[in-house]
Amino acid sequence: MLSYLRLIFFIPIIFLSACYDRKEACLDTFAANYDVTGDDACSGCCTFPSLVLEFTHYNGDSIYKATDTLINDHLQEYVIEDVRYYLSDFTLFQGDSSHTIREKIATENNKIIIANDMKIMRSVDGELNIGTVRLYGKFDSLSFHLGLTEEITNNSFVGLPSNHVLLQNNKLKNSIGETAYFTLKYKRLSPVMDTVSQNIYITDRPNFTALKSGTVITSTKGTKISYPLKLIIRCYCRILT
C-alpha cells in the first residue's frame, strides 16, 4: 500500500515538469530589453543604448547656418555652405573606468580589432549616432579624435557594410579622388560673387590629438546616452582671396 501511494504522489510532479517550456530571453542586466523572467540567454537578442552626440555648430559666437552672410577682415562677404570632417576613437569615462562602443571592425585574420566608431560629421547635422554601449549611469567625460587615427588609416578592414565611411566610395575626397580629412564649401558674395561654390580640402593626415569634453551627464538604464558638444567653424580670410 505504501508503494502505491508513492506512485500516485510522483505522477503529477512528472507530468507538470514535462509541460513547462523554458523561456529564452535577454539576461543581460545592462540591456534595454532585460527580462527577469527568462530562463536561458538568447543569442544576439539583447538591445543596448546608443551613444549619441548632439552637436551645435558655431561660426564665431553665432550658431552656424548655411545661409548666413559672413564678413571677413577684408570686408569680403561670403557664406559657408557645408563643412564635413571625420570623428573617431570615442571613449566614455566613468570614474577610473573607460569604455568604448560594442561594435567592432577587424583586419584580415583579425590581426587588428578596433571599435567601429569612425563617422563623417556634417555641419548641417545636429545629431550623430556613434554606436551602442553596455553602460548607464553617470559619465564624467568623453574623448575622441578629430580626424582618423594612424591605426585606422594604416590598415584595411574587411567585412564593412556598403554605407561604411571607410569604403572608397563613401570617403571624403578632393577633386582628384584623394582622401580628405576635412572639407569646406563656400561662396563669395562680394566684392566678387562666385558663380559656383569653392571647395577647401585637407588631404594630409592631421596630427590630431584626442579632444576631451568634460561635460558630466547621467543616463538611465535602457535610454540613449546623449552627449552635447559645441564646435566652432572658422573660415579664415586667406581662403577667400
pLDDT digits (tens, 9 = 90+) for 85-141: 999 999 999 988 999 999 999 999 999 999 999 999 998 888 999 999 998 899 999
Kind plus residue range of the DSSP H or E element containing 131 = strand 127-132
With respect to residue 31, please indicate whether it lies within any of the assigned structural domains.
Answer: no
**For residue 191, cis peptide bond before it (omega within 30 degrees of 0):** yes
Burial class (CB in 10 A: 0-12, 13-18, 19+), 43: exposed
| Cα–Cα dist 135/6, whole Å | 52
With respect to residue 221, please indicate whether it lies within any of the assigned structural domains.
Answer: no
The boundaries of the domain holding residue 107 are 61-125+135-216
The number of distinct structural domains making up the chain is 1
With respect to residue 111, please indicate whether it lies within any of the assigned structural domains.
Answer: yes
With respect to residue 24, please indicate whether it lies within any of the assigned structural domains.
Answer: no
14: how many CB neighbours lie within 10 A of its CB?
A: 8
With respect to residue 130, please indicate whether it lies within any of the assigned structural domains.
Answer: no
- Let me know: does 183 contact 123? Beta carbons within 8 Å: no
With respect to residue 186, please indicate whether it lies within any of the assigned structural domains.
Answer: yes
With respect to residue 210, please indicate whether it lies within any of the assigned structural domains.
Answer: yes
- Let me know: does 48 contact 222? Beta carbons within 8 Å: no
pLDDT in tens, 33-62: 888 888 888 888 898 999 999 988 888 788
With respect to residue 163, please indicate whether it lies within any of the assigned structural domains.
Answer: yes
